[in-house]
């Protein structure tokens, strides 16, 4: 039996550079988190997800 694996996006140099650029800008911008962190998926009905998002929204911001 032969097993083959296809290339994935994670090892693409363009993807890695873009990811590194996003992280660098985030750290230089002194952001706590993105506003998307608090959003739920469309149609999400998970109470665990809701509780998690509410918990993080209730936390005081701290300086980075």
The per-residue pLDDT for range 5-20, each reduced to its tens digit, is: 877 767 888 989 999 9
Distance CA 25, CA 16 (A): 14
Predicted confidence (pLDDT) at residue 45 exceeds the cutoff of 60: yes
Domain boundaries, the chain: 9-58
Task: Report which of 59, 22, 53, 55 is spatially closest to residue 39, judged by C-alpha positions.
Answer: 53
**Confidence (pLDDT) at 17:** 94
């Amino acid at each position: 039996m032969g097993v083959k694996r296809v290339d994935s996006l994670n090892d693409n140099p363009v993807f890695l550079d873009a990811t590194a650029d996003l992280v660098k800008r985030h750290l230089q911008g002194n952001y706590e988190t993105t506003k998307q962190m608090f959003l739920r998926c469309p149609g999400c009905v998970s109470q665990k997800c809701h509780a998690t998002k509410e918990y993080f929204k209730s936390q005081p911001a701290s300086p980075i």
